[in-house]
Amino acid sequence: MARRKPLPLSWSPVPGATSYRVRIVPADHPNDDTVYNAPYDEIDALPDSRHSVDLYTLSRVPTVSGTYDIYVSAYNDDLGEGDLALLDNAKLDFTVLPAPKDLKLG
């Protein structure tokens, strides 16, 4: 599998968050209710520091190039899930270079 250049997604910390939920859905999704029901990757919260994750390392990242909405929400075991922060119409390109051909020794 090709190695992609990292594509970092970052956000400011939310006081009281124990984790964050990252969802990536097609840009033409119908509404926020469908987003809360979409699969997500859970990222542990780091106190008092900006969070960053390489989108390509997430298990739920799409593999087809296109336009997506990226949502991040804070989560706390006692309070549940917070509001959604939106990165709207993000262009994700999953194109990789083809492998070289005609390898030879000598």
For the chain of 106 residues, list the mean pLDDT of each consecutive stretch of 10: 83 94 89 84 88 90 90 94 94 88 93
> What local confidence, expressed as pLDDT, does residue 1 receive?
62
Q: Supply the pTM of this predicted model.
A: 0.85
> What local confidence, expressed as pLDDT, does residue 84 receive?
93
CA distance 37 to 18: 20
CA distance 59 to 85: 20
> What local confidence, expressed as pLDDT, does residue 9 receive?
95
CA distance 45 to 65: 29
> What local confidence, expressed as pLDDT, does residue 103 receive?
94
- Reported as type and span, the H/E element at residue 35 is helix 32-36
Residue 60 token pair: 């739920």
Domain residues of the chain, as ranges?
8-92
Q: Which CATH code of 3.40.1340, 2.60.40, 3.30.450, 1.10.10 fits the domain covering 8-92? A: 2.60.40
Residue 16 token pair: 């009281």
